Structure 1
Amino acid sequence: MASFVPSAVSGHYPGWRGRFPSSHKRRSEPECSVKELIRMNPLHLFFLGFVPPFLGAIGSIVTALLLHNDEISNYNWQCGRARLPSLSRIINLPMERIFWQITFLFHIPLRAVEIAVGFFRYGRLRSVNCNWPRLYSLCRHFYLWLGSLELIFLIALSVVGEREFISYHVIFFYAFGAFAIGFFLTNVICHSQSLYYLNPYGRISYHFKIVVTILYVISVPVLFGAFVLYWRKCITIMYDVFAVAEYIDVFLTIAYHCCAFFDIRYKVIFSWCKFKRGGLFEMFFVEEKREKLRIQKKRTKLADIFLHSSSDDYYALRLLYNLPVGFGIALLIYHLAWYRINFADSILINPFWKDFVKWLMIVSSALSYTLNPLVRASLGCALFASLGSTGQGLLSVFVVENLNKGPIENIIQNFNISTMITVCHLQLQARITKSRMELQAGPIEALFEKNFGKVTTIGNKVVHTLKSLLQPFDDDVEEDSEEDSHLAAIIDTAQKIADRQLLTEGEDPSVGTMDRAAKPAWKRLKSQLGRAIVRRFERRCKYIFASSVESCHKRLQQSQSLCYDAIPWPLDSFACSRINALSLCQAKKVGEMSVKFCELGKSTDSGKEEHEMLFTPELDGQMYGLQNVSKQIERQLQLNLHFQAVEQPEIERGYSTSQLHNELEHDVKILQVFLGSFSLVLDFVVVLLTYLLFKNCVQTTLCYLNDIEFQNFFTTPYFWRIDSKRNEMGKVFLGKLRKPEKKHNKVISPYGLPHSEERKKMVSSSVRLSVLVFVVIIVIVVDHFFFKMLQIVVIHGKTIRSQQGGASLNIVVNGSGAVAELLRKVLQFEYAENITKHLDNLHCLSQPSAPNWTFNTWYLMVPLPVMFLLQVFLNFIVQRFVLFFVLGLMFPRRAKARIIHLYNKMLFGRVNSDKLSAAKKNENEGQMSKDGTD
């Protein structure tokens, strides 16, 4: 960077270290005087802002570890002991908290100066080779807002400690981290596309910022994940990871802001100046560069401020009155559309955050409107353009929402009432039919209802009595049971023990010692049931002997085992071998006794005849009869008449009407869910259309400012005033425009009829509006006639039924004895009754919901003609109003430049056309004179 040479004319002297020119020591102007008092070294300011928070962080941690180690380390948290303290716990201690707050809050004003200087210098130092000018401008403003929010939440988490409001402290901590990441990213983007990227130190600072940002972004999910794993999964080591990540994040934040050392060194001068102004009136209402022109043009102060001055004139006054105007506009837009994107408006989120997001959006929009003329122009354009065809979609959605809230909801409500009337009428018809059946049945139904219950009760008692008598013999009359398997297993075990005894004695177990009958008693029976019963009796007899053998064998084995455990070797072999289960239990002898007494076909038994007489061949039929007697009794005494004749039809009728009611109610709920989803879709459409409306207005404003040919074909009064001035000055002027000029340049009067493009927009708007009007009319007509139909049904659908009848019956049973007593209890009956029933459906006939004609008029019928008037018939007037009054008053210099450009273009075309016409005329005259000479 070249140094400056002193000059008596310019008054410039070499700047600091020869890099910048010095500022004027004293400058006087009519509105203010400025005097430089102190010039400060930028590096001194940097170290003044960097050293205190760095020492505060280091000092707080070291002091806590040295003096209060027991209070912050190895403490028992919810999920176990945490060895390392978190930074929040450190600054929660009284001494460390004071040290932290003093040092960190001390550097906040310097950080605010850094952000403000960076914002304005990024605006002035944008590189001419900037690849993304719009992104750069957006990031520049985000740099300001995100940096300010980072400071706000840094103050909040420093002041609101863990011991006061732990939940708010955690929220402030993560909000600070999120805004810090956004600030880092926007700063890097602006740095790369500005003159800050140049040497000296520009690229070093840029690469250092990238490295720190990447490390910070990597550490944030580690920090958050460790916190969640500790509190949700109780992984103890995760709290130590969280604490280490928190330390790293703090020092990465400090390291990132250290880059200001490279950004301001040799590039920024800080001076403390004294401003002396003439007063508040001069500060707000005096603009020196406008005063001379205002006096020359003989304009009033208000006319110059509001009609002729540009957006950068009277800056303080514009800030003063644009702030409340912008706040009102932002509040209006929020309640019209932006409330739909308030993600914190949920029952699952604290209401504080709903209000926080709401006012954050409103205040941000108000400040943007106040500070940025492009935002002011776009918002003003959006407010008025929404009345024209540009906002037709938004207003159409507004009408559809009101259609949903009014007639459609009323139709659904009336449909629900109609379903209730239908179901209630069906239930009434069912009750009428049932009442008729009761009248026709007379005493018969009462007889059945009274006495068949008694019959059922008596029959059940008889069945239960007989079954209780036969229940003990049920298992004995079964062909195969679990008892047979159990008895056979015990008998087989005893037989195996006897066989082992024979083997030890040297005998053959296959040779029996007892005579057996040639044909056992159970084989003399023919049926399987009889044989099973006889064999079961034999097994039960043998079980008595076999169980004694098995029990003896187990006891002696246990005794022998205890003997071996108690007597030492070698005496145990001599003493315990005597306890032999096979020899002592005498399984062989017991088996012979069981065969002798239990097998009923033994030929030598003296009781043979008795046994054979006990199991005679008639046993088969007797056992089958005993087996089937309980089933026959239960089947013979069953009574199903009452259930089949009366109860079952009642259940079927009730099921049919309730099913119909449930299905209709289900359909209504589905329709309500569909309309609820449709409302959410409309919310999304409103947000989308609002975004498109603002996008269109921003593009229109940018085209108005950057493209001088954009819709520049209107001959405004200023156009003709220029022409009149040129005429008075004796210069070339246009006068009345010729038809070829109008056709070629497509110029029209701003007060004239719409041109072709405007007519096309009118046609397309009318088509869209016609569809909307047709839908609205159809829905309103359906709502009205549906209400009228239900009203007629309620008036003429009243049903009142009165039924009367009487019947008598007297049955007397005479006689004595059990049968007579039973019949007397069953049949004796005396009945005399007169039945009178009144049935109606008056409780079902709810009054239908009438259409809300006030709502339909103000929110449906009035907006449609207004939309037709503004968006179709007068759409071109709305567009011209935005072009001439909104944008023209916002940017008066640009409006004049556009008119001057149009006038010069027309005048240049007129002059060229006149010259061409004169040349052609001279050529024709020369040709005619030449022809006359010839």
Structure 2
Amino acid sequence: MPGMENVTNLGLRVEKFKKNFLKHFQANFPTLYAICLDPIGTHKKSRAFIGFLLGLFFGILLYECIIIDLQFDPYTSVCLGGIVITMLSIGCAMSIQVRCICILTIPTFFGRAGRSMLRALILGYIIAGPLFNLVYNAKEVVRTFGCTTQLTYNLTKTRFDLMFKPFQQAILAMKADASEIKETLSSVRDLMSPIVEEVEGENEMLRLKEENDYLDELQGDTKRSKEIEEKHEMKAEEAKSDADAYEAKYRKKIEARCEEQLSRGAGRCRDMFGNAYDKCYEAVTIFVAWLLCWPMKLTFVCNLVQALGGSSICDPEGKVDSGIGEGYVALKSARDEFSRSMKDAKLQYKLKKPTVILDLQDSEYAAKAVIHEFAVRRRLFESVMTIVKRCLSFVFLKIILNAQTYHDKYLTDIEYDNMYVTPYFRKIDARRKARGSTTLLPLKKTEQMKFVDPYAVKPSKAERFHLTGQTVKLLLELITATVFVILDWLFYEALDLIRRHAYMEYTQAGLHDLTLEIRGTGVIASLIRSAIRGFNVKKRIKTVVSNSACLPRPAKLPTYVIVKIYGTFLTIFLLIFLSVYTERLRRGICSFFYRRREKRRVLYLYNESLRRRLSYAKFIKAKVKNMVRTRHLENEVNFWLAVRLKWPDRFGWLRFFACARDRCLICGDTEPRKGPKYRACTTPACHFLHCAECWRDVGRVCYACTEFSDTETEEYDTQRSDF
């Protein structure tokens, strides 16, 4: 192929394949070939239809990959997707610029904008993965702390209850026992009431007095109650103590009761004689009744007992035991003493409450507070992640804007991204070579840094510099992400180690026996026995408790999250290397849509490069002479080279490093370690070297030691070079 002499094997194969494909495409699909490759302005309807399908495809792709991830409600998502699909379809159908920009988004995605979007995704993965997992495991630590504290408290409380709870319950129960004792004393008081009534009761004495006086009036006798009162009043006055007074009073009641019984018996006797007389009188005639019934009139017989007994028949002297008054007084005194003692008895106890400390939180409250705070932060985190996802989705706009920027600069700035040695560039050079004119190919070493072969597999020097910078930046980002992953893994391993080896079982056994024995059968013994019955304790405990519920349950970071993080890093790494070729593809896409513009750009690049080459020799001559004049070359001493040359035996190994080897005076390339050596200047005082190509370009003259007139160098700017 003409003009393809210096192209790589890959370039030759691509051009050959391209030529054969276009021939086959034109032969088999002439209509489609004409639609694709005919000049702009032809086949408008067909191109509009194909553009509509292209816009529809990109709109659906944008809806599925971006709009759905914005997490709007379904109605909003569908409406927004419909608007985007409609705009892209109509735009691609009507405008060649929109078509070009849409296709440019593909290589732009593999460039800087696409890598920025993937970096944002990695940030989201790190937040949702290791950072969120660290927060969850931290919550487990707080829960474990609170649970362990609660378990310790429960175990201590169990032992405390075994030791002191019975006493507490017994003391609290004594309040009810005191009420029971009071009720018992009340029953004692009720039990003594008949005795008190028997000894001191006045109602019975009044009744006996009235009955005795009534019977005495019926019989016409003197009132015996008066005699009894006079008799016993004298004894009461003679009483020396309460016991004698009570005894005299009781004797008086006994005597009155006896008199009442005798009077009642005599009255009943008279009633019986009267009834017998009436029955007898009714049974016989009046004359016989006078003879037979008169004995029934002998009622004096009813007083025979009193007559025969005399006045001492009801005298209690000798009938009532002596000392009864003393016994009654002692009994009454004991009753009053019991009543008074139990009335003043009070059971008091005090529950000691600890001092309330402000702003003091126990472990359980702290755990609940942390869990609540974690839930709040989690909801906030989910909201932030939703916003981040939406922002990440809008990062895709950067890809579209970058594609549009490249498109606009391609059409307006003829020097923008204009550095490719295209087939048309080679054809121009082949034509000039055929005419015998000055050509550019093959390129000089200084020119190779400025040009890019679109078919070259090996990146150019500028592209390699860009790749190195991006790779180092990616490596730092990878280290940062790995730090978070390792921190999460170490935290998980520490908690999992505790979970596997900190399991414990607590066996708590104990007994508490206490027996208080009250020997006695009396009332007091019963009362005391009732009061202290709560102190009779027989309590047993045997519990087996484990800390399984308090062991941490850490969450392990899912493997798929790590795969997504490092898989995305790998994708970015691949995109960095692919960006060398995808950026070349952008020019090819624009050249397909704007073929005339591409030819104009290539012509400008060729002519401008040719102009620069023609002026390069004069520029180098002026630059070197200016450096000689200012003695700048004498100051440029390579330290490592000087060390290697001065002590070759000791530091000869430095030649393996580029910093210790000579450089070309013109292009500045380092002398190769293997291969042809650079040509040294033959002037004895000049130690500079030239590579073969630069030596040929400068006309085999060393500018550092050759004398030139001032007019040869002053007309060129020595501070600027087109290369």
TM-score of the aligned structures, taking structure 2 as reference length: 0.52
Asked if structure 2 preserves the Cα contact closer than 8 Å seen for 1:386 and 1:392, the reply is yes
1:772 to 457, 477, 486: 477
What is the alpha-carbon distance in structure 2 between the residues aligned to residue 659 and residue 401 of structure 1?
33
Is 1:812–1:824's contact at 8 Å kept on the other side of the alignment?
A: no
In structure 2, how many angstroms separate the alpha carbons of the residues matched to 1:775 and 1:393? 16
Q: Do 1:808 and 1:833's aligned partners in 2 also have CA atoms closer than 8 Å?
A: yes
Query: How far apart are the structure 1 equivalents of 2:364 and 2:158?
Result: 20
The AA in structure 2 aligned to 1:779 is: F
**CA 1:684/1:756 → structure 2, altered by over 3 Å: closer, same or farther?**
farther
Match status 1:316 vs 2:45: yes
Q: Does 1:692 align with 2:398?
A: yes
CA-CA distance at 1:852 after TM superposition = 1.8
**What's 2:602 paired with?**
899
Contact 2:115 2:575 in 1 (8 A): no
The one-letter code of the counterpart of 1:357 is: L
Aligned residue for 1:889? 592
Q: 1:735 to 1:803 in 2, by over 3 A?
A: closer
SS in 2 for 1:714: coil
In structure 2, the CA distance between the partners of 1:312 and 1:424, relative to structure 1 (3 Å rule), is: farther
Equivalent residue for 2:146, pick from 399, 423, 430: 423
Q: 1:711 is paired with a residue of what secondary structure?
A: coil
Q: What letter matches 1:315 in structure 2?
A: K
RMSD of equivalent CA atoms: 4.5
Which of the pair has the greater relative contact order for Cα pairs under 8 Å at 6+ separation? Answer: 2
Shift of 1:436: 2.8
Paired residue secondary structure (1:836):
strand
Question: Any conservation in 2 of the 1:310–1:890 contact (CA below 8 Å)?
Answer: no
Write the distance in 2 (CA, Å) between the matches of 1:740 and 1:371. Answer: 46
- TM alignment of 1:185-334, pairs within 5 A: 301=30, 304=33, 308-309=37-38, 312-334=41-63
8 A contact 1:307–1:889 mirrored in 2: no
The answer to whether the Cα contact below 8 Å between 1:459 and 1:637 also exists between their aligned partners in 2 is no
Aligned partner of 1:562 in structure 2 is none
AA matched with 1:742:
E
Once the two structures are superposed, residues 487-529 of structure 1 have per-residue CA deviations (whole angstroms, 9 ceiling, x without a partner) of xxxxxxxxxxxxxxxxxxxxxxxxxxxxxxxxxxxxxxxxxxx
Letter in 1 for 2:404: V
The answer as to whether partners of 2:140 and 2:552 remain within 8 angstroms in 1 is yes
- 5+ residue gaps, structure 1, are 1-292, 463-632, 922-934
Hey, what's the Cα distance between the residues in 1 that align with 2:177 and 2:470?
83
Contact 2:110 2:582 in 1 (8 A): yes
Specify the SS of the correspondent of 2:545: strand
Counterparts of 2:556 and 2:445 in 1: how far apart (Å)?
A: 63
TM-superposed CA distance for 1:657, in Å, is 2.4
Conserved? CA contact 1:727–1:733, under 8 Å: yes
The 1:425–1:896 alpha-carbon spacing in structure 2 relative to 1, beyond 3 Å, is same
* Cα distance change, pair 459–359 in 1 and its aligned pair in 2 (3 A): farther
- CA 1:640/1:693 → structure 2, altered by over 3 Å: closer, same or farther? same
Distance 1:839-1:374 versus aligned 2 partners, 3 A rule:
same
1:635–1:681 Cα change, 3 Å: farther
The whole-number CA distance in structure 1 between the counterparts of 2:378 and 2:469 is 33
User: 1:777, CA displacement in angstroms?
Assistant: 0.6
Shift of 1:776: 1.5
1:392 is aligned, of 110, 115, 130, to: 115
Describe the shift of the 1:723–1:445 C-alpha distance in structure 2 as closer, same or farther (beyond 3 A). same
- For 1:696, give the aligned amino acid: N
1:854 aligns with 560
Q: CA deviation at 1:724?
A: 3.0
Given the alignment, which residue of 405, 411, 433 partners 2:128?
Answer: 405
1:355 is aligned with what amino acid?
V
CA–CA distance in 2 between the matches of 1:355 and 1:370? 22
Equivalent-residue separation in structure 2 for 1:298 and 1:726 (angstroms): 33
Cα shift at 1:855: 3.5
Question: Shift of residue 737 of structure 1?
Answer: 4.2
Question: Which letter does structure 2 place at the counterpart of 1:429?
Answer: T
**Distance across 1 between alignment mates of 2:510 and 2:433:** 113
Alpha-carbon distance change, 308 to 901 in structure 1, aligned in 2, over 3 angstroms: farther
Matching of residue 640 in structure 1 with residue 350 in structure 2: yes
Which residue pairs with 1:713 in the alignment?
A: 419
**Match of residue 549 from structure 2:** 843
Percent of aligned pairs with the same residue? 18
Which residue of 175, 190, 203 corresponds with 1:455? 175
Distance (Å, rounded) in 2 between the aligned partners of 1:767 and 1:910: 35
- Indicate the SS of the match to 1:663: helix
Aligned 1:600-679 pairs, distance under 5 A: 638-641=348-351, 644=353, 656-669=362-375, 671-673=377-379, 675-676=381-382, 678-679=384-385
The amino acid that maps onto 2:172 is F
Partner SS, residue 808 of structure 1: strand
2:482 is matched by which residue type in structure 1?
I
Gap runs ≥5 in structure 2: 1-21, 183-342, 622-697, 700-723
Does residue 830 (structure 1) correspond to residue 536 (structure 2)? The answer is yes
1:794 aligns with 2:499: yes
1:361 partnered with 2:84: yes
Q: 1:832 to 1:748 in 2, by over 3 A?
A: closer
Deviations 1:760-780 (A, max 9, x none): 543543343233212221122
User: Which among 483, 489, 504 is matched to residue 784 of structure 1?
Assistant: 489
In the alignment, what sits opposite 1:589? none
Structure 2: distance between partners of 1:367 and 1:353: 21
Aligned residue among 739, 743, 754 for 2:444: 739
Q: Distance in 2 between matches of 1:438 and 1:851?
A: 45
Q: Secondary structure at the match of 1:411?
A: helix
Residues 1:861 and 1:306: Cα distance change in structure 2 (over 3 Å): farther
Q: CA deviation at 1:834?
A: 2.2
Residue 298 (structure 1) shift? 7.9
* 1:634 Cα deviation from its structure 2 partner: 12
Q: How many residues align?
A: 438
| 820 and 864 in structure 1: CA distance in 2 versus 1, 3 angstrom threshold | same
Partner of 2:213: none
Asked if 1:377 is matched to 2:103, the reply is no
Equivalents in 2 of 1:460, 1:371: separation in Å? 107
Q: Write the deviation string for residues 592-636 of structure 1: whole angstroms up to 9, x where unpaired.
A: xxxxxxxxxxxxxxxxxxxxxxxxxxxxxxxxxxxxxxxxx9996
| Partners of 1:742 and 1:748 within 8 A in 2 | no
CA distance in 1, matches of 2:27, 2:617: 38
Shift of 1:717: 1.6
Aligned counterpart, 1:878: 582
CA distance, structure 2, for counterparts of residue 400 and residue 794 of structure 1: 31
Secondary structure at 2:395's aligned position in 1? helix
Deviations 1:304-356 (A, max 9, x none): 358644665443333333334333322333344444667xx25xxxx434422
Give the aligned partner of residue 540 of structure 1.
Answer: none
Listed one character per residue, the Cα deviations across residues 421-477 of structure 1 (whole Å, up to 9, x for unaligned) are 3322222222222223234x1xx4224225414527968999xxxxxxxxxxxxxxx
Q: Aligned AA for 1:331? A: I
CA shift for structure 1 position 792? 1.0
Alpha-carbon contact 1:799-1:842 (below 8 Å) kept? yes
3-state SS, counterpart of residue 802 of structure 1: strand
Partner of 1:808: 513
Q: Residue 851 of structure 1: SS of its match in structure 2? A: coil
User: What's 2:166 paired with?
Assistant: 446
Paired residue secondary structure (1:811): coil
Output the CA distance in 2 between the equivalents of 1:712 and 1:832. 101
Question: What displacement does 1:668 show?
Answer: 2.7
The 5 Å alignment of 1:567-582 reads none
SS in 2 for 1:843: helix
Whole-angstrom CA distance in 2 between matches of 1:303 and 1:909: 43
Contact 2:511 2:540 in 1 (8 A): yes
1:659 deviation in Å?
1.9
In the superposition, relative to structure 1, how do residues 336 and 408 fare at CA in structure 2: closer, same or farther (>3 Å)? farther
